[in-house]
Amino acid sequence: MYGRGLGPHLLHMSVFSQSFSPCGRFLAAGNNYGEIALFSLSAALSPDATRLSQKPSFSFNSPETHELTRLAARVRGLSLSVSVLRSSLEIPEINSMIINPRDNSLVVGGGDNNIHILDLEHGVFKSVLQGHSDYVHCVSVREREAEILSGGEDGAVRIWDSRTGQTVHCIEVYKYEECARPQFGKWISCLTTDSDWMLCGGGPSLSLWHLRSLSPTSTFPLSGCQRQAAFYQDMILAVGEGQSVSHCLLGGEVKAQIPCSSQSLNTLQLNTNSTEHRVLTVGGSSDHIDVFTNLSYRAFSLSF
């Protein structure tokens, strides 16, 4: 995996997804080559950190066979065991997934226009939510309300009752004048919730919605299409086309735009699992993952 220099592998790499470990000491990231890398935040944030500390502690490629592949390794004292199943489940691609703690299930948004619910205890898919007319880009969960939200290429945000699998509400964001941007399309690429509030965007402008009234309260004047957004304290953080993390106020103002090392950004994650390793990480159209120990500037970058 290493020693390839700045060949096509690195020059054309994009980071699409990342997730922090439950203990908050590790970051897993995936790229467009099917590689998954595990980074040690403890090592990277250490006062004695070196360039090697900013490289993966462990990495592997997604298997291309239809078999159960078991990978195990010792990663700096961590016993890591990963099981990957390439089953016959016919989902053209998986675009988004999130754990629903309410019933210990995995919610999967797929390229077959459906949301699939995986029972994590038994390892079987227990239901399919059908209603989108095009593929699903993003999913989110409102645990307290027993609701699942999904955004799709069809421009709809659907709110589902996770107990019955039925659509409770369908919001066609692109039909709202304050959100619509016909020049970009109607697709919804990012979606997240916090209590009674929802953020969504993509073709339409990134907007803040009150879920009880099902109405937009703010739109954010960000250029290009946003690919991921997150609530953080009294702010909203967003990334997408362009090389900056946008800091937005709830009223719709853009407070700051902080430059990153990638020209276009796909993913951001806030590590809330560890106070000692509380960072923001951002990945996009390069082999780098930028690390922010302070939201106002990039501290350093991890790299594949």
Q: Give the integer Cα–Cα distance in Å for 128 and 196.
A: 25
pLDDT for res 188: 98
pTM for the model stands at 0.86
Burial of 55 (0-12, 13-18, 19+ CB in 10 A): middle
pLDDT for res 93: 83
3-class state of residue 287 by DSSP = coil
pLDDT for res 49: 93
Q: What is the pLDDT along the chain (304 residues), one digit of tens a residue?
A: 444 455 667 888 999 999 999 999 999 999 999 899 999 999 999 999 999 999 999 988 865 543 333 333 333 334 443 443 444 355 678 899 999 999 999 999 999 999 999 999 998 999 999 999 999 999 999 988 999 999 999 999 999 999 999 999 999 999 999 999 999 999 999 999 999 999 999 999 999 999 999 999 999 999 999 999 999 999 999 999 999 999 999 999 999 999 999 999 999 999 999 999 999 999 999 999 999 999 999 999 999 9
Kindly state the DSSP code that residue 272 receives in the 8-state scheme.
-
**Helix (H) or strand (E) run with residue 9 in it:** helix 8-11
Question: Residues 19, 12, 60, 2: what is their CA dihedral angle, to the nearest 10 degrees?
Answer: -120
Ordered by start, the domain boundaries in the chain are: 1-88+269-304, 89-219
pLDDT for res 73: 36
Q: What angle do CA 256, 45, 55 make, to 5 degrees?
A: 100
pLDDT for res 6: 58
pLDDT for res 90: 58
Q: Residues 148, 162: contact at Cβ < 8 Å?
A: yes
Residues ≥6 apart with Cβ < 8 Å to 176: 204, 207, 216
Selected from 3.30.300.30, 3.40.50.300, 2.130.10.10, 1.10.287.70, the CATH number assigned to the domain covering 89-219 reads 2.130.10.10
DSSP bridge partners of 281 = 269, 291
pLDDT for res 297: 94
Residues ≥6 apart with Cβ < 8 Å to 76: 40, 43, 57
Q: Residues 193, 149: contact at Cβ < 8 Å?
A: yes
DSSP bridge partners of 249 = 235
pLDDT for res 138: 97
